[in-house]
Amino acid sequence: MVGGPPEVAESRAVFVGARYEHGAAGETVGANVAYGFESSEASGGLGVFLWHGPGLTFALVASQLVVGPTYHIDLFGDAGGFAIEAQVAVAPGGPQLVGQIGAYLGFYFVDVGYAYQLPLGPLDRPEWMSSHQLSVRVQVPLR
């Protein structure tokens, strides 16, 4: 192996984050907290970093507060990274169950990408809910 055996590190951290999304129905701003499992591996000057974990998201969508659990996965390497996120939430302004999934390009603790939001129940899309959205996430680890 070039550079010797790989160096492996594992830890856990609490992540706090902010989010911004823009879609046809308007803008979304929010915050989240997540408990992340981190691991990294480096060999020969190249490395990869992974964090994943469950969290809780609070978002303000066109005057509707949307709250729900989230699962986030970030993978970074020397050539950049990517992230995926899944969320199921409830809008207390009305009985609306919301699902969201996104795919992002990652740059350290910033993810920029696409998110799709869909109604899970009732299945009629409310006026305030965008389907396709440009999305930015910032996730900062606290030790």
3-state secondary structure the chain: CCCCCCEEEEEEEEEEEEEEEEECCEEEEEEEEEEEEEEEEEECCEEEEEEEEEEEEEEEECCEEEEEEEEEEEEEECCEEEEEEEEEEEECCCCEEEEEEEEEEEECCEEEEEEEEEEEECCCCCCCCCCEEEEEEEEEEEC
94-109 mean pLDDT: 83
With bands split at pLDDT 50, 70 and 90, how would you rate the model's confidence at 1?
Answer: very low
Token code pair at residue 126: 């409310």
Sketch out the chain's domains with CATH numbers: 7-142 (2.40.160)
25-36 mean pLDDT: 91
Could you tell me the pTM of the whole model? Answer: 0.78
